[in-house]
Chain A
Amino acid sequence: MAGSVNRRHAQGAPHLHACPRGRSAALLVACSLLLFALTFAPARAAGDFRYPIAADPEHLNPFRSTTVATRTVLIQVYEPLVTFDPQTGGLKPELAERWEVSEDGLTYTFHLRKGVRFHQVPGVVYDDPEVTAEDWIWSFEMFLSGDTAISEHPEYLEAVKGARAFTAGEADRVEGVRALDPYTLEVTLEEPNHRFLFDLINVYVVPREAYEQLGSRFSQVPVGTGPFLFHEWLRDDHITLVKNPDYWEPGLPKLDSITYVNVPDATTQLFQYRQDALHVLLDFPTGQVAALRQEFADEYVEIPGLNLRYLGFKWTSGPFKDNRALRLAVAHALDQETIWNVLMEGARFPAHQGVLPPAMPAADVEGYRYDPELARQYLAEAGYPNGQGLEPITYYYFASAAAEPYHAAIQAMLAEVGIPIVLRSEDNTTYWTRVGDDDVHLFLSGWSADFLDPSEVFNYLFYQGRDDTNYSNPEVDALIARATAITDDAERNALYRQIHQMILEDVPMVPLSYSKVMALVKPYVKDFFLSPAGAYRVPMKYVALER
């Protein structure tokens, strides 16, 4: 009807008529191409470092940062008392010039660096921008707030005397924190705790003025003391930090600015890296790891990381509850070598040891070896000879791991010994809210330690049912608590080894692999120090572009 009428018209249209229309269309295309080119032409300053991020941070609030995305940006803007030495991985002073620990391991005296000033940004007026002990006390109290809308990390400082009472709202100040003078901060602990200095790495000094004057914008506009100042944040596009001209460390930072470019897709990131539109590549597209290592042999850097990937069993419900043999059957059915070295092309280390990343003390214990025959025996012992009577178990994993090829391989390996599973991927948010539920019995998960200490894994994954497995063994709990208080390294690590063995005996999870921190770094990028905790931990103040 209408369609045919139109078509007839078009057929009978005079020849001349078509021409100008075609030309103007061509002109339009040309114009839009030009516009496109102008908009996307790289207007890049020489000292601008282009750093890829796969997702925007949820916010940039230092008291509430929980994800890699937020930390990536925050650690360049905010600074702690102590930090990692980028070359040794040990601790080194940052905003504390030095510190002393008392004989009994309870009192830490921090001598603060003088002349450290908060960032000058529009909208924030300081009485005195210099950082003093009072600023630290206010920041400590903010971190210790019991209101989750203010802080998500009271645990960083929970070792401090009176911290729990403050968090619970039973005290209006933290008993163990005192300013001896404007540049001396004294912190007293409840009991000796070897993790305290490590935990301080994520406790930053924050200007009270910024918090109060920025109001709701505080979560979008980070204001600290770090080498870089916040400049702008265009959602889902980029975040820009610029050099802090008043930085306390002479000669640093070397870069003029950092642009965090949001490129969600690893293949696109790689494309941009090839085009020099990114200076590093931190996410390797699955399936191209081997090829990229070969192609960019001179730009490839790798160090062992601190991330554990594991298959969790629900300890408190479902088929794995109280059935150690069934858990062992799964553990021995998985051919880690094939999964990680063949399918994943060596992107991660297969877990031949236990639950600790291999760079940690007490990590070298024997893991669950691949042995399908043994797995079948355990399956029979579990009450399901050849899998008879075993209902299919749903294996939950998150969408960001969905492109990784091993899920169906795990399914096939388990089917081989007689364990039927069904695969179910969920989008990340749904996955993380659901994985703790009682009806999720088998799930893929991961844990990133922040530093090279077994407590970073034990205290979170195997302590008092904190992990989504809900694993809790009172004996293990007691030993973990005891180890935390031991300040002698050798004695503590021996105990950690014992704990590690006990956990492997219980089989609350199957460790699958340990991360490698890998990156491609352009040859003209200098001093990009990778950290075992992840590429995001690279202190950007040392980095220089020398073309």
Chain B
Amino acid sequence: MSDPKERIPVQNILVQQARTSQGDELSGPANAARFWRTFRRHRLGLVGLVIVGTMVLAAVGAPYLAPADPLAQDILRARLQPPSAAHPLGTDELGRDLLSRLIYGARISLTIGLLAEGTALLIGSVIGALAGFLGGRVDDLLMRITEIFMAIPSLLFLIAVVAILEPNVVTIALALGVIGWPSEARVMRSQVLAVKNLEYVTAAHALGLRPYQVLLRHILPNALSPMIVVGTLGIAGAILTEATLSFLGLGIQQPIPSWGTMVYTGQNYIFTAWWYAVFPGLAIMLTVLGFNFVGDALRDALDPNRVTQRT
């Protein structure tokens, strides 16, 4: 880009202006500082960050943090024991330590959330960007496909998938991603549509850049921030759907500690051993809430208009 810069300084100035006004927040230390400043102001966002951080910590450090083996049974001596010093969150019907199972369960939920949403973002971004950028018939076609996918009941689709494939973390996460991309695609498309007619993009075209270069270098970076928000919220959705699937007895298989499975089996004991269903249920709720808070805070922090209003 150095050549055009020298030759056509006017356009270059335009490009600079457009970029600044759009706010390319993710680049440069100054932007990062401003981003963090806005994010910090969002108190619930910080709470969410703490929750998500705790969860990541639990997932990564599970073998060191868990007080007991999450699979070790002791039916005759430790069945359905209430919270105590030996078992801070009590035990389940097979005498397994609930806290240890919850900690290991964080791995399952986090892996599924990230993998599923990653897949959804990838598919959704590609389809949304192409639809928005190319427009016309391609747009029509891709959007109809998106609508078809939106019309598929996701839980039924998942049940069908686990009936055919083995229900493990990877297949469930990929299936969630494959069914979950349409909303991502629509957001991406609308972003691309909003950006692609701005002057700096016209300028980039005028500079003789190839369409794919314009898309990759000039449009996508400016369409990213809403995708980060959508992605964060999507992780929460994926975790919840996995829990639902496991709650139906069709998700992550026993004896792997999945939070959904724990709620599912625990509900039978709700009147005699409340802790069994309540703690995994709380874990799911807090995690989903945490990701939602972070998502909200990110939306505010990444919103350039908002920044201008506040500063």
Q: Which residues of A contact B (CB under 8 A)?
A: 1, 3-4, 8, 267, 285-288, 291, 338, 342-343, 399, 402-403, 405, 407-409, 411-412, 422-427, 430
* B305:A425 contact, CB within 8 angstroms: no
Query: How far is B70's CA from A408's CA once the two chains are assembled, in angstroms?
Result: 12
Asked if B136 lies at the interface with its beta carbon under 8 angstroms from chain A, I say: no
Residues in B neighbouring A399, C-beta threshold 8 A? 248-250
Q: Which of A285, A342, A408, A423 has the most CB of B within 10 A?
A: A408
* A409:B73 contact, CB within 8 angstroms: yes
Query: Which 10 A-B pairs have CB atoms at the shortest separation, nearest pair first?
Result: A402-B249, A287-B268, A408-B255, A287-B269, A399-B249, A405-B93, A430-B163, A286-B268, A423-B254, A4-B306
Minimum CB–CB distance from B71 to chain A (whole Å) comes to 8
Residues in B neighbouring A4, C-beta threshold 8 A? 303, 305-306, 309
Residues in B neighbouring A403, C-beta threshold 8 A? 249, 264-265, 267-268
Query: How far is B270's CA from A267's CA once the two chains are assembled, in angstroms?
Result: 9
Residues in A neighbouring B248, C-beta threshold 8 A? 399, 427
* B303:A1 contact, CB within 8 angstroms: yes
Minimum CB–CB distance from A334 to chain B (whole Å) comes to 13
Residues in B neighbouring A411, C-beta threshold 8 A? 254-255
Residues in B neighbouring A291, C-beta threshold 8 A? 271-272
Residues in B neighbouring A423, C-beta threshold 8 A? 253-255
* A424:B253 contact, CB within 8 angstroms: yes
Asked if B75 lies at the interface with its beta carbon under 8 angstroms from chain A, I say: yes
User: Beta-carbon contacts of B111-138 to A below 8 Å, as 1s and 0s?
Assistant: 0000000000000000000000000000
* A426:B73 contact, CB within 8 angstroms: no
* B253:A405 contact, CB within 8 angstroms: no
Asked if B26 lies at the interface with its beta carbon under 8 angstroms from chain A, I say: no
Minimum CB–CB distance from B44 to chain A (whole Å) comes to 14
Contact count A vs B, C-beta below 8 Å: 82
User: Beta-carbon contacts of B230-270 to A below 8 Å, as 1s and 0s?
Assistant: 00000000000000000011100111000000001101111
Minimum CB–CB distance from B224 to chain A (whole Å) comes to 15
* B249:A342 contact, CB within 8 angstroms: no
Minimum CB–CB distance from B124 to chain A (whole Å) comes to 20
Query: How far is B79's CA from A343's CA once the two chains are assembled, in angstroms?
Result: 9
Residues in A neighbouring B85, C-beta threshold 8 A? none
Residues in A neighbouring B152, C-beta threshold 8 A? none
Minimum CB–CB distance from A43 to chain B (whole Å) comes to 30
Asked if B94 lies at the interface with its beta carbon under 8 angstroms from chain A, I say: yes
A405-B268, A407-B254, A430-B163 given. 9 additional CB < 8 A pairs?
A267-B270, A402-B264, A403-B267, A405-B93, A408-B73, A409-B73, A411-B254, A411-B255, A424-B253
* B163:A425 contact, CB within 8 angstroms: no
Query: How far is B96's CA from A411's CA once the two chains are assembled, in angstroms?
Result: 14
Closest chain A residue, CB of each to CB of B272: A291
User: Beta-carbon contacts of B162-205 to A below 8 Å, as 1s and 0s?
Assistant: 01001100000000000000000000000000000000000000
* B163:A424 contact, CB within 8 angstroms: no
* A409:B249 contact, CB within 8 angstroms: no
A-B pairs with beta carbons under 8 Å apart, 13 shown: A4-B306, A267-B268, A287-B272, A338-B75, A343-B79, A403-B249, A405-B94, A408-B254, A409-B94, A412-B73, A426-B163, A426-B250, A427-B159
Asked if B76 lies at the interface with its beta carbon under 8 angstroms from chain A, I say: yes
Asked if B107 lies at the interface with its beta carbon under 8 angstroms from chain A, I say: no
When the two chains form the complex, which single residue of B94, B166, B254, B270 contacts A343, counting CB atoms closer than 8 Å?
Answer: B94
When the two chains form the complex, which single residue of B79, B163, B299, B303 contacts A427, counting CB atoms closer than 8 Å?
Answer: B163
Residues in A neighbouring B267, C-beta threshold 8 A? 267, 403
Q: Which of B93, B255, B271 has the most CB of A within 10 A?
A: B93
* A408:B306 contact, CB within 8 angstroms: no
Closest chain A residue, CB of each to CB of B96: A408
Given A288-B272, A291-B271, A408-B94, verify A3-B250 contact (CB < 8 Å).
Answer: no
* B250:A427 contact, CB within 8 angstroms: yes
Query: How far is B96's CA from A370's CA once the two chains are assembled, in angstroms?
Result: 23
Minimum CB–CB distance from B275 to chain A (whole Å) comes to 13
Residues in B neighbouring A409, C-beta threshold 8 A? 73, 75, 94
Minimum CB–CB distance from A353 to chain B (whole Å) comes to 23
Residues in A neighbouring B268, C-beta threshold 8 A? 267, 285-288, 403, 405
Query: How far is B273's CA from A4's CA once the two chains are assembled, in angstroms?
Result: 46
* B265:A405 contact, CB within 8 angstroms: yes
Query: How far is B271's CA from A430's CA once the two chains are assembled, in angstroms?
Result: 32
* B76:A338 contact, CB within 8 angstroms: yes
* B75:A425 contact, CB within 8 angstroms: no
Residues in B neighbouring A427, C-beta threshold 8 A? 159, 163, 248-250
Q: Which of B264, B271, B272 has the most CB of A within 10 A?
A: B271
From 67 to 94 in chain B, residues with beta carbon under 8 angstroms from any chain A beta carbon are: 73, 75-76, 79, 93-94
Query: How far is B167's CA from A8's CA once the two chains are assembled, in angstroms?
Result: 47
Residues in B neighbouring A425, C-beta threshold 8 A? 249-250, 253-254
* A343:B75 contact, CB within 8 angstroms: yes
Residues in B neighbouring A286, C-beta threshold 8 A? 268
* A424:B94 contact, CB within 8 angstroms: no
